Amino acid sequence: MKPRPVSNPPNPWASTEVEYLEEIPPSRLEVLEDHSREVMAHNNSPDVCFTWSVNPYRGCMHACAYCYARPTHEYLSLGAGTDFETRIVVKPHAAELLREAFERPRWQGETVAFSGVTDCYQPLESSLRLTRACLEVCAEYRNPVAIITKAPLIERDLDVLQTLAREAQLWVSISLPFHNPELARAMEPYVATPKRRLLTIERLAAAGISVAVSVAPIIPGLNDEDIAKVLASAREAGATRAHYTLLRLPGPVKDVFEERLRAKLPLRAERVLHRIRETRGGELSDARFQHRMRGEGLYAETISQLFHTAARKVGMRMSSVTEDAPTSFRRPPRPKAQLSLF
């Protein structure tokens, strides 16, 4: 990742604000450790299809301009801009904490989602292997798992994924909102190209893993033109399920997204912002449950119809995590204490 000037929207939770009077220093990768005593987050949103998630990383080096998780960095007294992309918080004991959670009597084997916030296969995972360690715990306990990622690094863990698919329950989604590589590079600069992600779908499918494609987010006026191409290419690569969400711009994400849009795609910026407002009641964001994932209005309805029509045309099923299915969860037998002979 190339150093670039520090740029963060004002943090409403911070007691101070930094203003550079001279040259703005470059942002550089900094890894911070989180020693929380719990690793699983509970979700009660009616818009999300899972209840429990594990996020080994906070912040994300992929630097997607549209990432809805950016505001979570502000709770750490960090910024939602370049801080989110370069000051990455890691949970070094994630696997041990997950094992402890599975051993508690109240745990009933619900699905655990990875990347509910930031990508569990972002570049640091290649060396830290926190996600793999957590997946190995899930495989040991045969706990259902859902994963969504943009990263081809998931291919490294095919052996664990095959075990989960065979002995537990596994849902894998590859995030692929763009078909046009130039648009993808503008909005998600440190992510593998669309072509490379299609190859990941192909390799997962060839290994016997059921794969969905997540066309998320759909950005009105920008990548809605790619929907049919993404679904057709993903189906050809071996994906059998699909889902989408409309662009969300909560809190400071609006500032980061608009700044990137105007810098990288200046000729399209006003049109895109206008289309977003068409789907959000005249605003750039709408936090209401039942609306925030799909939007409202004629343009949002058109996107929905386009997506479902294109999915049916190529034989894609709509994807969701089935939490009401019987769980495969089993605690492994504990070794019996050796009896004394005397």
In the predicted model, what is the mean pLDDT of residues 279-298? Answer: 88
Query: What is the rounded average pLDDT for all residues in the chain?
Result: 92
d(CA 220, CA 145): 31
pLDDT bin (cut points 50, 70, 90) of residue 50 is confident
Q: Which of 89-93, 153-157, 338-342 has the lowest mean pLDDT?
A: 338-342
Q: How far apart are CA 74 and CA 9, in angstroms?
A: 10
Q: What is the rounded CA–CA span in Å between residue 14 and residue 32?
A: 18
Residues 6+ apart with CB under 8 A from 342: none
Please name which of 87, 79, 64 lies closest in space to residue 20, comparing C-alpha atoms. Answer: 79
Residue 281 — left, alpha, or beta (φ > 0 → left; ψ -120 to 50 → alpha)?
left
Q: Is the pLDDT of residue 11 over 90?
A: no
Say whether pLDDT at 339 is over 50: no
Indicate if the pLDDT at residue 255 is higher than 90: yes
Asked if residue 22 has pLDDT above 90, the reply is: no
Least confident of 118-122, 287-291, 312-316, 330-334: 287-291
Element (H, E) at 135: helix 130-141
Q: Quick one: what percent of the chain has pLDDT higher than 90?
A: 80
Chain centre distance of CA 91:
17
Contacts of 312 (CB under 8 A, 6+ apart): none
9 upstream amide cis, omega within 30 of 0: no
Q: Report the C-alpha gap between 65 and 62 in whole angstroms.
A: 9
Residues 51 and 111: beta-carbon distance below 8 Å: yes
- Is residue 4's pLDDT more than 90? no
Which candidate, 192, 243, 250, places its Cα nearest to that of 217? 243
Query: Tell me, what's the pLDDT at 17?
Result: 67
What does CATH list as the number for 30-318? 3.20.20.70
pLDDT in tens, 155-168: 999 999 999 999 99
DSSP 333: P
For 313-328, what is the mean pLDDT? Answer: 80
Q: Are 119 and 53 in contact (CB under 8 A)?
A: no
Distance CA 276, CA 29 (A): 32
